[in-house]
Structure 1
Amino acid sequence: MASKCDQLLVVVSVLQGRQFPKSTRQVLVVQAKFDGEQLATDPVEHREQPQFCTELAWELDRKTLHQHRLQRTPIKLQCFAVDTGTSAWEPLGYVVLDLRSARETTQANAPKWYPLLSTKYSKLKPALLLSLALENDTKQTPEPERFKAKDAPPRQGSPPRPGQAPGRLEPVLKEDEGYHQIGAADGSGDHFVLSVTVAFATRLEQLVSSETKLSQEASHYFFYYTLLGNDITSEPFLDLLSPSFEPERASVRVRSSVPLLRAYLEQQRSLQIHLCCGTCSLGSAEVPLTGLLKSDVDLDRQPTTIEGAFVLLPPNRAKQHLPPMPPDMQPTVGVSVTVWKEGVDVQLAGPRTLEPHAVVKGGPKSPRPPNPPAEQQILSPASPPRRSPVLGRVSPAPGPSHPQTESEAESLLEDSTPALQPVSGQPDAPNTSASVSAPKISIPSSAHHYCFSIDLRSIRDLNVGFPVNCVLRYTYQFFGSAAPIMTSPPMEIQKNMEVFLPKSYCAFDFAALPHQVQETFLRLPLVVEVWHRDPKTQDVLLGTASVQLSHLLTAEKTRFLGQSGQQHWRQTFSQRIPVVRARGRSDKVAELNYVTTLEDLGLVKVQDIVVSESSQSGNRGKKQEAPPKPPPDAAGAPTEPRETLEYKAAMELEAWKEMQEDLFDNQLKQKELKHMQALAEEWKRRDKEREALVKKKEMEYNLLEEQLQKTLADLEKREKQLAHAEMETQRLQREMRAEHEFSMRELQDGSRRLREDCHHQVELERSKVRLLEEERPRLQAQVQEAENKYKQLDKEFQLYREQQNTRPEIRLQSEMNLLSLEKAELERKLESTTKSKLHYKQQWGRALKELARFKQREQETAMIRLKRQEQELEQMRLRYLAAEEKEAVKTDKQQLEDIRNELNRLKQQEGRRSPRPGLEQEAVASDGVDEHLSRLLEERDTLLRTGVYTHEDRIISELNRQIQEAMSLRGGH
């Protein structure tokens, strides 16, 4: 079990976003995948600047972290928009984080903005504010795991788990069995194999901007895609004009059913394949997966395949507003996606030349190619418990013939690099007397031999207030030396003087990768300490000077030849830098002049460098003394010089030297030939690159020229339109101005005419007033005369009236008027009586209706319970109705009798008063009969409308009889 200090947490902080479109019916969720585990943030509002403020962490040990760094396992964050109404998940884009950039820090790293790749909001450029860090897992030792019940299976319609889309199928890795489970986890279903093959690529140079040189992009290119949550990279290649790489097939076992597998592929919709350069995506292609498993496909007999040449689209083409490429210039990648059932005899076809956008579906009908692609299947994942198998190309074990990754080189430099002692001037010759059993260091084949030298030339403008015995000291462990380097002897420096430092030149020989040198020089400066050495007291640190080695990387390169005639590169930089006080203040105490040189001596030839004991201890091995010569044989007799053994050995040595010189010359010629061929191939490749870039730039310039000509034509046309519109505007202004002046003149003329008319009208009215005043006395005289005539006529009328009152006809007329008034009064009383009776009848009808409703409600509620009492209630109702009818008949008879008496009385009075009693009595009788008949009809209709009575009831029959009598009486009159 790993110790507590070996446990680490990979923490990804998702802080906020920017430049997102606002949506009220959606929320944002960020999902992160790493080490076979998927984490997600809480849903937040879909607005312009969403605030996530969430940390996602994965637990792993240092060994697993080192393996992930070797395999360049990325951390993929994908942003989704979730519809709150339909729960549909819509991908917005993704971000890929490099685990190698994470460092162990006690404080959080500064967050960075990462733009979303393959986003649907290309114009808005949405981005996420993220930070990646490694933290020590300081949690307490967990207690033994107690019994814990398993989670109950989710019910139908239950809410989804956090981080998982409703209704989405997610593959679950079964490490022990070696497959991914899609669907139910009960182990049901068949085993299938899903494979993806990247076969070829064409016209990739179209994805690189014309302003960027291909040789400056990166050291290699590769294709990247994700298969069932596993990140896969293809074999890297160097040339975009003619990409040469072995076709690779990545396969994975899946356990599921055909419907579930088809639903999963429909959810995925497409497979995105990216052409990457380092950490940048130059373009991506969409391989549709929806038609891979159709309903008519029988996987029990044959596999199903989607293959073709798919167009790679650059991510920033929409931002640059460039016209679409012609079909013959579009970059493409050949991809084949195949699904088959295990146990079926499958012969997978190799890559072949496909036309762009061509999709060939079918089974194993094509023959197997002579060199099939290397297939990597993860059938039995042998990995740590918390790791998911990585599909795709597996890096070989580090060795002499395989390049190592950055993490391997760092480990070698940290663990096994010998401490090389720097020397003044040129470095000494290496010791050749190392033991065979001495430890060895494995140097990557891509490592370069570097020589770094620094010369601290002079120091001046010392400002400390006392004479100084100056000593300079520095150390830089990257060069392989942990011991400090000091200048000697101490130099006495006075104020306002410059002292040149003797024996301050130091050179370091080391092996490293080029990007390691670049990263280290950019990150770590070389700090030079300035000390005052006093033999009586302790040394005093006066200040420090920071030498920025990054200036060497930007310095001009010069070419020089080595001892063996090989071509090398040298970069030199010199500068004067201030020496800053070391005790909390930043004021300048001196100025240091230095010269630095970096020589690149090419690739390291010897892969295994033997480290002697003396080099491990930091000391150079001294040259061995020559063994003592044997004493001459004094007893030997003199012989012929050519016959001596020494002469023969010397001859053999000379022959051997000549043979070795010939061999060395042949090797030099072969190396020269190889180098010349490599230079020629490199020249041809770069010439092709330049030609391709020139063609691409010419095409872009032609397109831009066409757009410019079209724009100029539009501008000229628009300028003509503007000139015509300006002339038309001026003409309209002139017309409006003339019309305005004409209107003003008309208004002035009209106002003048109105004033004259008003003045004339006032004069007319004044003359009329004068005429009326003159007519007034005459009219007053006529009125006075008319009044006198009226008084005279009134007197005559009064006299005539008195004469007429004395006649009998006048008295009879007055009596008739009185009788008419009395008759009107009686009719009014009769009418009021009729109205009150009608009101009574209405109240009676309402009472009957209410009674009927009550009786119906009682019948409905007590129909079953009171069946035996129904007859009694019916009899009571009949008796009640009969009594009521009797009472109503009595009342009607009484009323009829009163009316008849009243009519008789009126008839008698009219008979006494009227000069024609017969006619008046007959008229009164006829009026009474009509009124009686109308009253009877109204009563019968009112009773029938209540719904209580029918035509068969006795009261209705009686009313009908009375109506018949009244009608016969009316006919008799």
Structure 2
Amino acid sequence: MVPRAADRLLIVVSILEGRYFPKRPKYMLIVEAKFDGEQLATDPVEHTDQPEFATELAWELDRKALHQHRLQRTPIKLQCFALDPVSSAKENIGYIVLDLRAVQEKKQTPKWYPLLSNKYTKFKSEIQVGVVLETDTKALVDGFKAKEAPPREGRVSAFLSGLDPKSIVPVLIEEEGYHQIGPAECCRDYFVLSVTIAFATQLEQLVPSTMKLPERQPEFFFYYSLLGNDVTNETFTDLINPNFEPERASVRIRSTADVLQVYLCAQSKLQIHLCCGDQSLGSTEIPLSGLLKKGSTEIDQHPVTIEGAFVLVPPNRAKQKMPQLPLDMAPTVGVSVVLQKETLNVQPLQPLIPLNAPTEPKQPQKKVLSPVSGKTEGLQQTSKDVPSQNDHSSPTEDEATESEVESLKFEKGTNLKKTTDAAPVAASQSNPVGASSSSEPVSAQKIVIPAASHHFCFSIDLRSIRGLEVGFPINCILRYSYPFFGSAAPIMTSPPTEIRKNMEVFLPQSYCAFDFATTPHQLQDTFFRLPLLVELWHKDKTTKDMLLGIARLQLSNVLASEKTRFLGGNGEQCWRQTFNETVSVTAAQGSGNRIAELSYAITLEDYGLVKMHEVLVSDSSQCVGAGQQRHAPHTQPPCVPENQPEPRETLEYKAALELEMWKEMQEDIFENQLKKKEMAHMQALAEEWKKRDREREALVKKKVAEYTVLEEQLQKTLRDLDKRERHLFSAESELQRVKKELQAEHERNKQELQDSVRRAREECAHQIELERSKIKQMEEDKLRLQQQLYEAENKHKILEKEFQQYKEQQSSKPEIQLQSEINLLTLEKVELERKLESATKSKLHYKQQWARALKELARLKQREQESAMARLKKQQQELEHMRLRYLAAEEKELGKTDRQELEDIRNELNRLKQQEEERKQLQDVRDNSAGRVDSPHSRKLNENMDDYLSRLIEERDTLLRTGVYNHEDHIVSELDRQIREAIAKRNTTR
């Protein structure tokens, strides 16, 4: 019975985000969900503390199957892995088990689930997951299509008879290294599906001037999904000349031809996107249904393939307003899809050289892959009718060489593999001058060399290795390859050379020379863009060869060296450039430290232009010389009689031969002129194209800058909003927690308050009863005390009356009066005795003070006399000195004014002496008359005043004697004022 479409359901598991994870910058996080044997996974995200997965995973089933799973309690297991992008190793962190019985059809709030068996023991890692049941709307639209498969016999027929092609899902068997398509019991054959992206053209048409790219220096790449595995090729930056190596992605499949044919028909198309960052610039769809035809056994005999140049279409042509372009101007990508049985030992078809070479002769041939990844050219394959710069050449006469086929040979793998195949030049190591080293046998073919190419010879000599910093001696082998020189086969030095630490070893058989033809522009572009990588290998007989380090040789250095001229073999002028250098060999694994130094020498020789001619490559890898331009079949000349002359010896034959040679020479000259004109026109077109491309790039950069600013603002706004939302969420959770705590505290306080109120009421009631009993008792005591008080007052009145009567009786007796008088006299006596005692003590104290004062007075008088005598002696000495100075000044100046001043000074001194003597006499008289009662202090003050006065007079006279000052100067007038005040004060004291 066919289930109804309405019964089809989807179990949708939303893996939103995580929290409490440790930060691991070099790792990615991925979550794999497994249900009912089918496994789905999220995209890898950064391993941060809060990873954001934002992924929905869904499984299809009907209600009956859902009921069975619920009865059997089938779990949904989510496993979290830490992915190392370098080694692709997955590290199991923990898992989550979801119960299918709790899943409902209505949407529920996502929950946080802790990781079980968490590897990060110090972190409580959690993932937010939501699970919901949804109706399968796709099933409602498409319906059930299993009836289209005709019934077949056997298990495969039984499986296909009731199968929806869209329900066939490849399951990765990781242990065995393959994808299983179909039931395990039916899958018995192994297949290999390979997808190769070889070249692309006209990609600039996908970026109109109105479109803005997300980066300042954008990187472009092709992206497609192969059996659920995301595949990207090598990034490139130039849309005009896309430069990337052809890359093949292969996946191993276990299935049967019939199931695989049904699956490919259901998948219908392979989508390939040209991306810049996370933006798709254009896409193309390759139908896969044509690989296998129903009932066909073609896959058993040889691989089946789909290849060609497919047009890239923008995501929204109407929105971008991209005009419809002709096929030769439309953006295209060269893709080859190959499916073969793994048991076949047949090599794949020659892929993409030419890319869409017809599997049948009737199909048109349009494109040829340019040698060396479509950009760097050695000896190019081209026809005489098309110039060498054109990427679209007719391959009617040109076929892929064996080296090209080998460079794209299939390699067996256990899982999805991504290999880089560098397409070598068309003629492997073949050139018009001579055969180069290490060329492989190829089938006889003709190669047309364009006239604009130069014949170059590049030689490299790896001389020595020194400064080894490895802890053990190594058997050194150097290995390198440079497909631009004509072969992708590696060049190795032999035999292995033993190298030890702190020694320099010269390498044997390390010289190699390459002869090739290319344009100088291509040579310069390749040398600047692609360095030569020399690998240092350690070869051991007992263990596997080990790669120790890599040295980068920048070949563009030889172009900057000095050119030297030399003559070639035919006498033509040639140029040689040589460059020597020592470079570091960095470790292949680890931090990239230096482990050795490599000395090398490279030489580039330019032999000049190569004429347009064809080179025939024989089965023995030999080349025809440059002088041979035409290949005629070798025929046996007819037999002629001996007496007749040879036909080639006749004059007519010689004239015809000379004419033919002249015609060929003129044709060559004419072709060279056409080539020069064509080169000039192509250069002018290229300059104009570059000019327009620069304008467009400037506009693109401007728009990119604007978008970058807007994107930064938007990201900042988003971060602010996210931060604000988290802050609000934390604040809300904090508010809820505080609210719960406050509510609990309120309930607790309310209960405590009710208990306290109840206790207070009980205590108050008890206290009221006690107070009432106390009041009753106090009232009884009051009545009793009032009664006692009344009785005591009556007794007091009676006693008071009795005492009054007794007092009156006693006052009338004489003994009482005498006793009162005696008491008064006794008090007066005591008071007089106290006064007498105090007077006696005061008298004694005054006597002691008087004696002490007399002693102090005598001591002060003696001290004053001694000081007076000392001052007098000092004044006499000073007067004597002044007299001597005055005498000396008088002898020198002999002026009347000075003499008069000196006389005045003498008079003043005499007067002072007289006053001093009178003062002493007066003092003595006063001392004698007053019984030496005068205070020595006043005498001391007078002596100090005299000393001060004499000092002022001496200072004034000294200033006047210098002749600098006179009586009108301020300082002299100030001294006179002080002298007058001192004299007045002294007179008043006396």
> Is the pair's TM-score, using the shorter chain for normalization, greater than 0.5?
no
Bigger Rg, structure 1 or 2: 2
